[in-house]
């Protein structure tokens, strides 16, 4: 009888340990995905701040933007290009659907 109870306690303790490990894994994965999303957002803000003055958006001085442009890696430039190609022009699509030009 005592042996069965002890075995049951061990089994429950093992299950609780696995539950705690599962929670830990889930929290780590959620934290990593949140950090990845934050990184993408910060990268977008940096690129907007950097390239904004070159198209007339006042975020930083054009001279500062040109100086910081050297700090962009080729990978970041490819990312910027891919985002520009994938970007959606919602207003342009709307005006085209209505028969106007944007």
What rounded mean pLDDT belongs to the chain?
A: 79
Q: What span, in angstroms and rounded, lies between the C-alpha atoms of 93 and 102?
A: 8
In the chain, domain spans: 2-71, 73-102
Q: How large is the average pLDDT for residues 12-41?
A: 93
The model's pTM:
0.51
Output the 3-class SS for 28-67.
Answer: HHHHHHHHHHHHHHHHHHHHHHHHHHHHCCCCCCHHHHHH
Q: What is the pLDDT of residues 63-91, one digit of tens each?
A: 777 777 777 778 777 777 776 666 665 55
Q: Is the dihedral of CA 92, 94, 97, 102 positive or negative?
A: negative
């Amino acid at each position: 009888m005592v042996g069965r109870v002890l075995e049951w306690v061990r089994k429950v303790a093992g299950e609780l340990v696995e539950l705690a490990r599962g929670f830990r894994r889930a929290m780590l994965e959620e934290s990593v995905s949140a950090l990845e999303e934050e990184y993408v957002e910060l990268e977008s803000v940096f690129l907007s701040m950097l390239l904004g003055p070159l198209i007339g958006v006042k975020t930083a001085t054009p001279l500062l933007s040109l100086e910081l442009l050297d700090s962009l890696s080729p990978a970041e430039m490819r990312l910027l290009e891919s985002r520009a190609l994938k970007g959606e022009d919602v207003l342009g699509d709307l005006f085209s659907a209505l028969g106007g030009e944007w």
